[in-house]
Amino acid sequence: MAEKHGNLSINSENIFPIIKKWLYSDHDIFFRELVSNGCDAITKLKKLDMMGEYSLPEDYKGKIQIMVNPEAKTLKFIDNGVGMTADEVEEYINQIAFSGATDFIAKYKDKTNEDQIIGHFGLGFYSAFMVADEVHIDSLSWQEGAAPVHWECDGGTEFDMREGERTEVGTTVTLFLNEDVLEFCNEYKAREVIKKYCSFMPTEIYLSKENTTDTQTIDADEKLDTDTVVEEIKPEKEEDKLRYKIVKRPELLNETTPLWMKHPNECTREEYLEFYRKVFMDYKEPLFWIHLNMDYPFNLKGILYFPKINMEYESIEGVIKLYNNQVFIADNIKEVIPEFLMLLKGVIDCPDLPLNVSRSALQNDGFVKKISDYITKKVADKLSGMCKTEKEEYEKYWDDISPFIKYGCLRDDKFCEKMTDYILFKNLDGKYLTLPECLEVKKTDPDEAEDTAGDADAKESKENDAAQGHEAKEDAQTEGGQKIENAGSVEDEAEDAAGAEVVDADGNVISAGAGDDAEEEEEDEEEKKEKVIYYVTDEKQQGQYISMFKAAKMDAVILTHNIDQPFISQLEAKNEGIKFQRIDADLTDTFRAKTNKKTAKELEAAAEAIGKVMKKVLKKDKITIKVEKLKNKKISSMITLSEESRRMQDMMKMYSMPGMDMGGFGKEGETLILNANHPLVQYVMDNAEGNNVNMICEQLYDLALLQHAPLEPEAMSKFVARTNDIMMLLTK
């Protein structure tokens, strides 16, 4: 075959049906496109007047009228803008995708003002053919001596154009709707669609019913020259006003200067609330809002509202409406709105958005990403600024907005970086602390933290104790001359207090100077240790542990939301040296009574003995049992579950498939702690084969478990029955 070079042939007969059927995903969008064209026509005429090329009448008021006619099955879009000549109809209508807006901008780019031209692509007009069997245009150009034009097309590729009869500058587009979409010439449906797309367009939009017989009553002083009076209503009493019954006026459907177009300093609290109620039909008051107002490096305005978020009982998806030059584009466009902001409600208007031809989707990902990053930054700046300057207000909102902020930190690294130091944690006393403040809280044992500085009596007492300690130390020698370990912990404290020699963990003597070095090393090691932040997930269920913490002057934070578990895992990953631990995950030395090594070995042996009894009675081989001397003698038993085991258990529950047996999971890491200072535990230790030991063992375990988690139904039934048996024993 011979080599050939040529041009691709595009047949309008093939492409026009594609434009009509597939250009837009939503058929009702033709309202937006035709109204936008009318707005542009009016904007152009005003610019021509401003540049001195045309003189507007003194009483000129740009407006778009939409007239429905159910009987004739028509829709009319009427504007009083620039209009078109026959040549312009030939150029902008007959040549598909030639944009009059683009041509106008290019011609007058050095003379235009801040008013924006909406259209750019020239295809909006053809959206009419998605719903109309036939479309007519009647137009009269602003140009002096121009003749009116009438154009019509029946949906094919052929058209008819002749001189028209319009007498006023502007354009009327008439749609003869096909049978499938007659709902659009219903006044109520038309109002709904116009409100959806055109509520904030910059030109007044009026809706009316053609040839209507509907009337309304007005006071005489409200009568306009354009009103058609049907009846004069005379006053029945002297104090009554004269009234008129008139043909129903066209209804104004839009607000030409929406709140987001105003400067934040010009807006009142009530205006923000009214706008919120009007746009989102939500009568629950938002917590607060952020007004975006940016001109450089791109034009972006908007308002983001923070509603109260209830993550457990309501849908948490918000609505953020995206506009382009006050023209509605879509809800929740994820390319522009960061995903975590979808929890909010608001509007964003960005004329610089790179839209595709249908104005329903975006292109140029790099630019859109910059807009998205800016919105994230402004939200983070607002929240962090509020925490710095309005801490009380910030705390008041925190419980409601914390799920949103934590979700944002999980989903967006940049947001997380900005917000980490402004995350609040509520402690056991109801006080709000930031993460740095949580790390500064000293968790000290009150038995060791008593300040005796400046108290002469206390100092003298300490010195006497130190002297007695030396005497005890000299007596504590074996026949072979070797030192035995101190049987009491008071001696060690006395030696430290008096500056005497120090004994290490192995019983070796350390010189005073070496002790100082050791102390410095301990401080260095302390700094390297992970800083633990204790937390509570259920204040009622973990009440006993909370009481223990408060008695020990220790603090913890309240983390009750489902989102808190992944959130604290992220904080640990991003902040080296920080660890979160639930208050029932381990038993710290703070809660243990002081014991010497001999006593510790005795408790270890007792734990082994009682452990065999408990495991046999409870029929639980995996459980770890420890016997400790707790400071609180009223506590008989308690359960701890390692933080790692609990998190793994929570994760498995979250991702488990229906029907998966999770009953045995999580028992690894569970420890039953028995308090050797409690009479019940002492009884079991001393009477392993005694009466009622089995009952006491079971009760000790269930009591510990109840403070840790709810009992399973079968276990609860046994617990209740056993409790009744114990009460019966008291009656004997």
What is the predicted pLDDT for the residue at 114?
47
| Higher-pLDDT residue of 302, 487 | 302
172 φ, ψ to 5°?
-120, 125
Say if residue 283's pLDDT is above 50. Answer: yes
What is the predicted pLDDT for the residue at 504?
42
Count of CB atoms within 10 A of residue 545's CB?
24
Say if residue 359's pLDDT is above 80. Answer: no
Summarised one tens digit per residue, pLDDT across range 172-182 is 999 999 998 99
| Cβ burial, residue 254 (10 Å; 0-12/13-18/19+) | buried
**Coil vs helix vs strand at 628:** strand
Task: Please report, for residues 201, 255, 276, 287, 348, the alpha-carbon distance to residue 270 in angstroms, rounded to integers and kept in the order given.
Answer: 22, 17, 10, 13, 20
Say if residue 624's pLDDT is above 80. Answer: yes
What is the predicted pLDDT for the residue at 479?
39
Label residue 528 by pLDDT band (50, 70, 90): low
Mean pLDDT calculated for residue range 608-620: 83
Which of 65-79, 352-366, 411-425, 532-546 holds the top average pLDDT? 65-79
Contact 154, 133 (CB under 8 A): yes
What is the predicted pLDDT for the residue at 640?
84
Summarised one tens digit per residue, pLDDT across range 475-484 is 444 333 333 3
Say if residue 358's pLDDT is above 70. Answer: no
What is the predicted pLDDT for the residue at 309?
67
| Higher-pLDDT residue of 330, 134 | 134
Rounded to an integer, what distance in angstroms lies between the CA atom of residue 568 and that of residue 437? 16
Say if residue 305's pLDDT is above 80. Answer: yes
Label residue 665 by pLDDT band (50, 70, 90): very low
Say if residue 71's pLDDT is above 70. Answer: yes
Ramachandran assignment for 666, one of left (phi > 0), alpha (psi -120 to 50 degrees), beta (any other): left
> In one letter, which amino acid is 357?
V
Say if residue 485's pLDDT is above 60. Answer: no
Say if residue 124's pLDDT is above 90. Answer: no
Mean pLDDT calculated for residue range 581-588: 82
Say if residue 561's pLDDT is above 70. Answer: yes
Label residue 430 by pLDDT band (50, 70, 90): very high
Q: In the chain, pLDDT over 70 holds for what percent of residues?
A: 75
What is the predicted pLDDT for the residue at 343?
81
What is the predicted pLDDT for the residue at 191?
94
149 φ, ψ to 5°?
-125, 140
Q: DSSP letter string over 411-429?
A: H-HHHHHHHGGG-EEEETT
∠ CA 717-718-719, nearest 5°, is 90
Say if residue 18's pLDDT is above 50. Answer: yes
What is the predicted pLDDT for the residue at 79?
95
502 φ, ψ to 5°?
-110, 140
Say if residue 457's pLDDT is above 80. Answer: no
Rounded to an integer, what distance in angstroms lies between the CA atom of residue 189 and that of residue 330? 19
- Give the up-direction half-sphere exposure of residue 237: CA atoms within 13 A in the CB hemisphere: 2
138 φ, ψ to 5°?
-125, 120
Summarised one tens digit per residue, pLDDT across range 125-170 is 888 888 999 999 999 999 999 999 999 988 777 889 999 999 999 9
Q: Mean pLDDT for the chain?
A: 78
Label residue 473 by pLDDT band (50, 70, 90): very low
Say if residue 620's pLDDT is above 90. Answer: no
Summarised one tens digit per residue, pLDDT across range 669-708 is 678 888 888 888 888 888 877 778 888 888 888 888 887 7
Contact 638, 704 (CB under 8 A): yes
What is the predicted pLDDT for the residue at 172?
96
Range with the poorest average pLDDT among 88-102, 354-368, 566-580, 705-719: 354-368
| Higher-pLDDT residue of 99, 649 | 649
Contact 643, 565 (CB under 8 A): no
DSSP-derived letter for residue 669 is: T
Say if residue 22's pLDDT is above 90. Answer: no
What is the predicted pLDDT for the residue at 517?
57
Summarised one tens digit per residue, pLDDT across range 23-46 is 666 788 899 989 999 999 999 999
Which of 19-23, 275-279, 461-465 holds the top average pLDDT? 275-279
Q: Which two tokens stand for residue 378?
A: 């402004």
What is the predicted pLDDT for the residue at 13?
59
Say if residue 100's pLDDT is above 60. Answer: no
Range with the poorest average pLDDT among 77-86, 95-104, 123-132: 95-104
| pTM: predicted TM-score of the whole model, two decimal places | 0.71
Ramachandran assignment for 300, one of left (phi > 0), alpha (psi -120 to 50 degrees), beta (any other): beta
Mean pLDDT calculated for residue range 634-645: 83
Rounded to an integer, what distance in angstroms lies between the CA atom of residue 38 and that of residue 82? 9
